[in-house]
């Protein structure tokens, strides 16, 4: 057993990923963790030794062959097996400890995916793919940057955002994963699941806001400590509960999914929530929150041919809004449904969403996509499937040449 002292921002999943463990390993050594909503700085955890792969050296093996076989770093192999690189410890039958494999991609889960992961992955993607452009479109209530990525130089613009709702944060790495795969395929001149990214790049400019509600995401993932500027308010709005895993709103208790000026007053009356809350409070007025206002300003600055807002969960695609949608929206939604195996749903009785505002304002196709199926926050194990479904939906739109 090793001791580990929790730091601000640590979660069970993040600690487990850092030490090559599973969350179950961490909980097994610290049963109290399973009864506590969050970790707090200074708490001491006991971590079991990380289970390592072993390998028996075969005839003809070299250190380079072994690193290639397991996709590991030679320096890491040497650290765990001193002398292996000199050949002295690479004799047939020798048992070697194999380090963790080198990640073959920038975007992957190291536990919960939060604002710091977005920033780190953006920095890495910009180095690897200089044709991606990055900027900020504003800041959140607490001053976190609202990042936007731009890829492609086409005359048609597609706007996509994720994690507008805090506990739907798994949509962020799904969107970031598609950006990486798009960029990699374009850079190498390869197809992506039967689509041609070079055509995307020439015809479309893709604008991506990967995490529209960073304050809320951090709250859901890490909880709140007494030194937080909104601590007293948040605890009151949350009914005194210490867990915020059900929280959808931003840090001021405003549901960003009900913030847009598309029959906002009617949605406010329908919801009937008149004060800050974990969900469904539409705020004092449309676009009162900097996160929603920034998304609207971006779409107005670069009017799009289409827009997608990624949410979870339900495996559904909403495509209409009060008859404002253009005729092609229905057929496009059907195509997206076929590509993703989701259901295209004609929705009524809902207003003030990003998709609603986009359709009403620009009379162009807009879609709300409910990724995955289950209970928010969806489990990390769903990431790979949801990321592929995200990509298939966006690829279908980008391949549309009508």
For 267-293, the pLDDT digits (tens) are 999 999 999 999 999 999 999 999 999
Residues 315-340 have a mean pLDDT of: 97
Residues 36 and 113: their CA atoms lie apart, in Å, by 20
Active-site option among 328, 370, 384, 389: 370
Banded pLDDT at 19 (limits 50, 70, 90):
confident
pLDDT, position 102: 79
Banded pLDDT at 43 (limits 50, 70, 90):
very high
Residue 317 β-bridge partners: 344, 369
CB 111 within 8 A of CB 14: yes
- Give me the CATH code for the 115-216+287-398 domain, please: 3.40.630.10
Condensed to tens digits (0 to 9), the pLDDT of residues 344-377 reads 999 999 999 999 999 999 999 999 999 999 999 9
pLDDT above 90 coverage of the chain, percent: 85
Condensed to tens digits (0 to 9), the pLDDT of residues 188-212 reads 999 999 999 999 999 999 999 999 9
pTM of the complete model: 0.90
Domains 53-98 and 115-216+287-398 share a fold: no
- Considering only CA atoms, give the Rg of the chain: 23
Condensed to tens digits (0 to 9), the pLDDT of residues 64-91 reads 999 999 989 898 888 888 888 886 667 8
Is 222 in the active site?
Answer: no
Look up residue 86 and give its DSSP letter: G
Domain map (residue ranges) of the chain: 2-47, 53-98, 115-216+287-398
| CATH 3.30.70.2860 holds for 53-98 | no
CATH fold, domain 2-47, is: Membrane-bound Lytic Murein Transglycosylase D; Chain A (3.10.350)
CB 260 within 8 A of CB 368: no
pLDDT, position 402: 60
> What sign results for the dihedral spanned by CA atoms 153, 157, 158, 159?
positive
> Taking 80 as the threshold, does the pLDDT of residue 94 lie above it?
yes
- Low-confidence winner among 59-63, 231-235, 263-267 (lowest mean pLDDT): 59-63
């Amino acid at each position: 057993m090793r001791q580990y002292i929790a730091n601000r921002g640590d979660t069970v999943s993040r600690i487990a990923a850092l030490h090559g463990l599973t969350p179950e390993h961490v909980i097994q050594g610290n049963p109290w963790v399973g009864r506590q909503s969050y970790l707090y700085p200074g708490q001491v955890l006991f971590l079991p030794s990380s289970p390592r792969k072993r390998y028996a050296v075969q005839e003809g093996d070299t250190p380079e062959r072994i690193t290639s076989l397991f996709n590991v770093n030679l320096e890491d192999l040497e650290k765990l097996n001193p002398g292996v690189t000199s050949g002295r410890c690479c004799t047939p039958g020798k048992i070697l400890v194999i380090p963790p494999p080198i990640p073959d991609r920038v975007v992957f889960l190291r536990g919960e995916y939060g604002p710091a992961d977005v920033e780190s992955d953006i920095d890495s993607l910009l180095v690897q793919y200089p044709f991606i452009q990055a900027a900020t479109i504003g800041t959140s209530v607490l001053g976190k940057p609202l990042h936007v990525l731009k890829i492609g130089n086409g005359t048609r613009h597609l706007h996509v955002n994720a994690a507008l709702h805090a506990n739907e944060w798994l949509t962020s790495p799904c969107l970031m994963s598609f950006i990486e795969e798009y960029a990699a395929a374009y850079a190498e001149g390869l197809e992506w699941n039967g689509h041609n990214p070079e055509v995307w790049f020439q015809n479309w400019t893709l604008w991506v806001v990967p995490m529209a509600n960073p304050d809320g995401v951090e709250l859901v993932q890490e909880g709140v400590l007494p030194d937080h500027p909104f601590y007293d308010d948040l605890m009151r709005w949350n009914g005194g509960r210490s867990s915020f895993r059900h929280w959808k709103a931003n840090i001021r208790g405003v549901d960003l999914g009900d913030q847009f000026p598309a029959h906002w007053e009617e949605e406010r009356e329908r919801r009937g929530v008149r004060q800050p809350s974990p969900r469904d409070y539409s705020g004092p007025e449309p676009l009162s929150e900097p996160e929603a206002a920034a998304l609207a300003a971006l779409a107005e600055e670069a009017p799009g041919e289409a827009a997608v807002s990624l949410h979870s969960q339900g495996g559904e695609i909403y495509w209409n809004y009060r008859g404002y949608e253009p005729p092609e929206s229905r057929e496009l939604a059907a195509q997206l449904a076929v590509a993703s195996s989701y259901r295209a749903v004609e929705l009524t009785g809902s207003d003030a969403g990003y998709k609603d505002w986009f359709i009403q304002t620009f009379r162009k196709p807009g879609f709300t996509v409910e990724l995955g199926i289950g209970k928010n926050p969806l489990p990390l194990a769903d990431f790979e499937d949801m990321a592929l479904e995200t990509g298939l939906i966006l690829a279908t739109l980008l391949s549309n040449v009508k």
